[in-house]
Amino acid sequence: MATVYKSVGGRKLTKLLALNDRVQAELAARTFEIAVRAEEILKQHRAEGHAEILVEEGKTDKYVVLSDDRGQKAAMSIEYGRQSTVVVREDKHGNKFLSVVPEMDGLYVLATASNLPKKRKGKVKLD
C-alpha cells in the first residue's frame, strides 16, 4: 500500500507541486493565452473606455484581470452587465436632477476568454 505524505521537506505537497517548474511554465502559458483572448474580446467592444486586461502574479498563481481603474471603475459592469438605475446628479450651477443610467448586458470578457460558463452575478443590495 502506498503512503501519501502531507509534506515533503517541510513544505506542503500541494505547494511543492504548484511551484514545480513545469507546472509554473504551463500556468504561465495558459495565463498568456487567456489574456490575449480577453484583450481581443475587449478590443471588439471598446468605444472610448479605459478598461484593460492585466496579468497579475501571486506567489504561486497567476491571474487575468479586467481592470477599469483608469476609467469609470466599471469592470464588474463590463463583465456581468448592470440593471438600469436612477441617480441624482448636479450640474455646474448646483442644480440637482435625476439621470437614468441605462441597462447594459455583460460582455463576459474573462468568462469567454477562459472558456467558463457565463453567469450573471446576483443582485447586490446597497444601503
Task: For the chain, give every domain's residue range.
Answer: 11-113
Closest CA to 80 of 119, 40, 112, 35: 119
List, for residues 48-99, the tens digit of each pLDDT value.
Answer: 778 999 999 998 999 999 999 877 788 998 899 989 989 899 999 999 999 9
Rounded-to-integer distance, Cα 33 and Cα 63, Å: 12
List, for residues 107-122, the tens digit of each pLDDT value.
Answer: 999 999 999 888 765 5
Rounded-to-integer distance, Cα 122 and Cα 106, Å: 13
SS3 of 77, please?
helix
The residue type of 35 is: A
